[in-house]
Amino acid sequence: MESERRWLWLEKISATITTTAQTNIINAPADMRSTASLAYLSGTTGYDVLERQSLAQTQNDARGPYVGYPNAYSLLPGKFYLNAAVAIGAQFELIYKSGTPDDIDACVLSPPAVLSLKQTAVIAAACQEVANGYLKNDAEAGRQEGRYERQVQTMMDEEDEQRGDETGMGIVPDTELRVAAFGAGAR
């Protein structure tokens, strides 16, 4: 999805990362595409923004067994390398740009059959939200709401018809085991 447009909801996402071991390597979120900032929350000032540097410099600075306060990091795919080891429970605040999760990208490329069948209702509901929230157009929101309700009613009617349910309750009792145990006429 982000290949078509840079969506605002994928930008400036904040995450807190807590270490589970004494380490100088922390894992980045799976959906991270780029880093805006990384801050050490347990630092000398309580909130130390780390500077980005080369991996060679970071690894050179991180030599030795001591635990300290990092002031720089390097980023390789999926991992942040710190220039000092940190203690268990150290916390970092990460602000980053996200990407569309792979499963959503796959769904957009080849939508599931159920979603394809229901897309008109989903689109009508989305149009209603846009009309209400962004356009502030009550008339268009009302029109889209009516379209959405008609689509949902049509889907419910089709499902009831497929079940053979004349009452519209949507429940078809499964009596196979009862009939097997007690016979067709038993109550």
pTM confidence score: 0.52
pLDDT digits (tens, 9 = 90+) for 84-111: 888 888 899 988 888 776 766 676 677 6
Cβ partners under 8 Å of residue 108, min gap 6: 1, 100
Integer-rounded Cα Rg, in Å, for the chain is: 27
Residue 114: what pLDDT?
63
pLDDT at 82 over 80: yes
Rounded alpha-carbon distances, angstroms, from residue 170 to 19, 52, 86, 119, 173 = 50, 59, 58, 22, 10
pLDDT digits (tens, 9 = 90+) for 37-48: 888 887 666 788
Question: Predicted confidence band at 68 (pLDDT cuts at 50, 70, 90)?
Answer: confident
Residue 59: what pLDDT?
83
pLDDT digits (tens, 9 = 90+) for 155-178: 778 777 776 655 555 555 667 776
